[in-house]
Amino acid sequence: MGVATMDLSFTPEQGAWRREVRDFLDRELPSKYEFQTDYEERDEYWDFAVQFTKKVGARGWIGLTWPKEVGGQARPPIDSAIMVDEFDYRAAPLVNAIGHGLAGGTILKFGSPEQKRRFIPGILQTETIWVEGLTEPNAGSDLASLETRAVRDGDDWLINGQKTFTTWGHRGDVMYLAARTNPHAPKHKGITIFCLDMKQRGVTLQPLFNLGGGRQNHVFFDNVRVPGDMVIGEEDHGWYCIMNSFYGRGGGSMGGRVRRMFDKMVKFCQETQRNGRPLSKDPVVRMQLTELALTVECMKLLGWEGLSRAEHGGPEEFGGSMASVISKDSSPRFAQTCMEILGPLGQLQGGPWAPLAGEVDKFYRQSFGNHAGGTPQIKRVVAATRGLGLPR
Ligand SMILES: Cc1cc2nc3c(=O)[nH]c(=O)nc-3n(C[C@H](O)[C@H](O)[C@H](O)COP(=O)(O)OP(=O)(O)OC[C@H]3O[C@@H](n4cnc5c(N)ncnc54)[C@H](O)[C@@H]3O)c2cc1C
């Protein structure tokens, strides 16, 4: 009887690509600037991140998988995943995630030739920072209930309403805005996507600081004018755009961030003495490290599996959502276990007594921000209904 095998190795070309990415990071990323752009508010860090992202763009790596005719490199998704994995591991501060992902993806699929000419180069060169305008005070998981209104006014549209939780809102140039254009249609069918200039009159921001050290925003629209050619895709078909560009895709994180934390924890335990021996010799700590290793391995394998499903025509939502559930559910537990190993000093955010310079405390606080992009419960619903085909 034949035995089914899985080949989890990379090709020599993929290995060479990984090394090229690593070399780039070694050259261009001082350890001081290894940070999460959504949890760091100092301008100096943001400015570094923008310059760093421009260098990534100059190598053609922002549009790595995009078609050549729009300035991309038409490389396979696995090359992008290898790059993301290396960037995650080093906490490389790549800005404009919404431009590279949601907005870029929608414009490439549904945008007019003029919109592609107008917006894609700005994304590739990090000249235009995009933000995501989906969530509202009464529309989070149930996004289709959104109430921000867009009403025609001649050739333009007038926008009124509010978005909330807008990450990078105070840094952004353009919002990928979902607004209701037809209040009489079923709720999924009356939504349209607009490119909204964040710097214009009628847009007001209020900060919303989070536990992890980052800032989201409430964004208010008071008769904000958007030209008619700033609608992406068809009027009233915005839901379709969002689902097609965003929803539980494979090829997300392969757990690079937790792998990095795990490696640091192992080194810390080998180098730190407690009760006359290295922490790594303590049987309880060894058990805790094993738990961490299991999480790292699960995230890694589910991440690559999601990508593989996407590449082989399987239901992408299943793989992507499974990886997401594991990552979102395990991150707080992973961070908690790290904190338990460090003991009370782990809560120090800096100074000479803070183990690992307070990095674990930061990781712990940020690990609870797992609602962004959909909560683990909603990812489970997606995996069940769209991936496994279970009834709603
Ligand atoms: C750090 C951070 C950054 C964010 N950035 C952005 C951004 O840039 N742009 C943007 O538009 N939004 C952003 N969000 C918002 C995010 O998308 C929403 O928080 C998320 O969609 C959940 O919506 P909600 O917070 O309104 O929670 P709710 O939808 O009110 O959910 C509350 C709880 O109920 C559960 N729940 C809800 N419905 C169901 C169901 N059907 N079955 C089972 N459980 C359910 C949820 O899982 C959750 O635990 C961000 C959020 C965070 C935390």
pLDDT digits (tens, 9 = 90+) for 115-138: 999 999 999 999 999 999 999 999
From ligand 1's centre to the CA of 64, what distance in Å? 30
Question: Each residue of 325-355: pLDDT tens digit?
Answer: 888 999 999 999 999 999 999 999 999 999 9
Structural domain including 30 reads: 12-95
Residue 262 lies in a domain: yes
Question: Does 184 lie in the same domain as 137?
Answer: yes
Residue 341 lies in a domain: yes
* Ligand 1 within 6 A of CB of 134: yes
Residue 31 lies in a domain: yes
Question: Does 264 lie in the same domain as 230?
Answer: no
Q: How many whole angstroms separate alpha carbon 24 and alpha carbon 212? A: 28
Question: Does 208 lie in the same domain as 170?
Answer: yes
Show which of 71, 95, 119 is a domain's final residue: 95
Question: Each residue of 160-187: pLDDT tens digit?
Answer: 999 999 999 999 999 999 999 999 999 9
Using CA atoms, how far residue 149 sits from 11, 143, 182, in Å, is 50, 14, 9
Question: Does 366 lie in the same domain as 285?
Answer: yes
Domain containing residue 83: CATH number: 1.10.540.10
Residue 5 lies in a domain: no
* Ligand 1 within 6 A of CB of 371: yes
Question: Does 217 lie in the same domain as 316?
Answer: no
From ligand 1's centre to the CA of 377, what distance in Å? 10
What is the pLDDT averaged over residues 42-64?
97
* Best CA proximity match to 373, nearest among 6, 41, 38: 38
- Confidence band for 312, pLDDT divided at 50, 70 and 90: confident
What pLDDT score was predicted for residue 138? Answer: 97
Is residue 348 a contact partner of residue 354, using CB atoms and an 8 Å limit? yes
- Confidence band for 240, pLDDT divided at 50, 70 and 90: very high
* Best CA proximity match to 239, nearest among 168, 187, 167: 187
Domain containing residue 151: CATH number: 2.40.110.10
* Best CA proximity match to 242, nearest among 196, 180, 177, 303: 177
- Confidence band for 57, pLDDT divided at 50, 70 and 90: very high
Question: Does 361 lie in the same domain as 261?
Answer: yes
Residue 247 lies in a domain: no
Question: Does 59 lie in the same domain as 177?
Answer: no
- CB atoms under 10 Å from CB of 42, counted, come to 10
From ligand 1's centre to the CA of 354, what distance in Å? 33
Question: Does 77 lie in the same domain as 156?
Answer: no
Question: Does 260 lie in the same domain as 230?
Answer: no
* Best CA proximity match to 124, nearest among 140, 145, 103: 103
Using CA atoms, how far residue 230 sits from 6, 13, 86, 163, 346, in Å, is 47, 41, 35, 18, 49
Residue 106 lies in a domain: no
Question: Each residue of 73-121: pLDDT tens digit?
Answer: 999 989 999 999 999 999 999 999 999 999 999 999 999 999 999 999 9
Q: How many whole angstroms separate alpha carbon 136 and alpha carbon 189? A: 18
CA dihedral sign, ordered 380, 385, 390, 392: positive
Question: Does 265 lie in the same domain as 365?
Answer: yes
Question: Does 339 lie in the same domain as 374?
Answer: yes
Half-sphere exposure in the Cβ direction for 271 (13 Å, CA): 8
Question: Does 216 lie in the same domain as 260?
Answer: no
Show which of 206, 236, 266 is a domain's final residue: 236
What pLDDT score was predicted for residue 387? Answer: 79
Residue 348 lies in a domain: yes
Lowest mean pLDDT among 57-61, 172-176, 306-310: 306-310
Residue 375 CA: nearest ligand 1 atom is 47
Q: How many domains does the chain have?
A: 3
Is residue 34 a contact partner of residue 75, using CB atoms and an 8 Å limit? no
What is the pLDDT averaged over residues 9-24?
97
* Ligand 1 within 6 A of CB of 176: no
Show which of 178, 204, 236 is a domain's final residue: 236
If you write DSSP's letter for every residue of 347-361 in order, what string do you get?
G--SSTTSGGGGHHH
Q: How many whole angstroms separate alpha carbon 76 and alpha carbon 28? A: 24
Residue 141 CA: nearest ligand 1 atom is 29
- Mutation pick for ligand 1 pocket among 245, 375, 378, 381 (CB with most ligand atoms within 8 Å): 375
Residue 121 lies in a domain: no
